[in-house]
Amino acid sequence: MGKNKGVIGELWFFLKERKAWWLVPIIVLLVIVGLLIVFGQSSSISPFIYALF
């Protein structure tokens, strides 16, 4: 692993090496919730996002 990888590369290597594929849905869900929070605070689609919760 001599190359300098980013966070996503390191995460992919960890999941592949440890065979921790059960973490993928959790990570995807956290990313989606994070994006909803970011877009919900400063965009024109925020009323639609607030309706989901």
Give exposure, 17-46, as e/b (b: 16+ Cβ within 10 Å): eeeeeeeeeeeeeeeeeeebeeebeeeeee
Cα–Cα nearest to 32, from 44, 40, 20, 43: 40
- What is the predicted pLDDT for the residue at 2? 53
- What is the predicted pLDDT for the residue at 25? 93
Q: Is the pTM of this model over 0.85?
A: no
- What is the predicted pLDDT for the residue at 20? 86
Residue range 1-37, pLDDT digits in tens? 557 778 889 988 888 899 888 989 999 999 998 888 8
> What are the structural domain ranges in the chain?
23-53
